[in-house]
Amino acid sequence: MFIKTDQCLGVGVNFRNEIGNDIIHHINEIDFIEVNTERFFVDKNNLHLDKILKKIPLVLHGLTLSVGADQPIEQTYLDNLSSTLSSVNCAWFSEHISMTSINGIEVRALMPVSFNEDSIERIVNKTKTIMSKTDKNFLLENITYYYSMPNSKMNEAAFITEVIERSDCGMLLDVNNLYVNSINHHYDPYDFLEQIPKERIVEVHLAGCDYRYDMLVDTHASQIKKEVLELFKYLCSNADIKGVVIERDSNLDSFSDLIDEVRLVRDILKKNSRARN
């Protein structure tokens, strides 16, 4: 049975080497750090991270598990994950509901899966394998998709709900991804929030998105949109969120802009969580 962590981490950012010094400099204003799981497979002695992890908690966020692919999890991946989970102190860890490699070929992108029973079974089986390695909460994240996969038989919210509930895992809800998908695929994001198991949401991602021609794209390269903050506000008053990460990967002129967003999001989280209680 899924038991949500009672650790509430606050508001953090995703780690990149380029902003390592800035994070250290502003460490008292950042509640926790999210680091790509795979970084610990290869980069075991990062000087920035060594300093950061002495001060603030860590969550892991994977990119290459490829839960949606029709192939077993590679043993090397499982070995690396097990040794990382036992050597670093993370509050929880997560992955995307996607395919990132097929038959050993890495696509280096998060590809969507077909919303159907076969995908659900594949993802549930792999998620259970991962969860058998640890007692820590494991979360699956909704991704953006810019085309509909063939053979989809259900809508996105119903698909994600089946995946999360049958896996008996937690959810990382990327509110920006939800907003982007709702615009590109013409649905109501608030309806989506009504359908998914909100009690299983542990972590939230927020980020910026931008139009590329006539499509909204999850760029992580601009400020969080006000529509996304509105959705987040609604979510905070309806779900017990344990941590929020602002994902910013590029186009950041001044690190203090990111710190301003951390403060703003922390304020929304506190005020609206209080209103829920």
Residues found near Fe ion in the complex (CB under 5 A): 174, 205
Of 151 and 251, the one with the shorter C-beta distance to Fe ion is 251
CB-CB contact of 59 with 34 (8 Å): yes
Judged by beta carbon, residue 83 or residue 250, the one nearer Fe ion is 250
- For Fe ion, which is the closer residue by CB, 31 or 174? 174
Q: Which is closer to Fe ion, CB of 156 or CB of 174?
A: 174
Please give the residue whose beta carbon sits closest to Fe ion in the complex: 205
Minimum separation from the CB atom of position 171 to Fe ion (A)? 12
Nearby residues of 144 by Cβ (< 8 Å), 6 or more positions away: 110, 177, 180, 181, 184, 217, 218
The SS3 assignment for 42 reads: helix
Q: Measured from the CB atom, is 104 or 164 closer to Fe ion?
A: 164
Considering the complex, what minimum distance in angstroms separates the CB of residue 2 from Fe ion?
A: 21
CB of 87 to Fe ion, least distance (A): 25
Nearest distance, CB of residue 174 and Fe ion, angstroms: 4
Task: Determine the longest span between alpha carbons in the chain, in angstroms.
Answer: 49
Instruction: Using the Cα atoms of residue 94, residue 52, residue 14 and residue 76 in order, give the sign of their dihedral.
Output: negative
User: Quick one: 162 or 174, whose CB is closer to Fe ion?
Assistant: 174
- Rounded to the nearest whole angstrom, what is the least distance from the CB of residue 179 to Fe ion in the complex? 12
Torsion of CA 54, 60, 62, 68, to 10 degrees: 170
Number of other CB atoms surrounding residue 97 within 10 Å: 24
What burial letters (b/e) apply to 16-42, b meaning 16+ CB within 10 Å? beebbebbeebeebbbbbbbbbbbbbe
* Smallest distance, Fe ion to C-beta of residue 205, A: 4
Strand partners, 135: none
Residues in the chain: 277
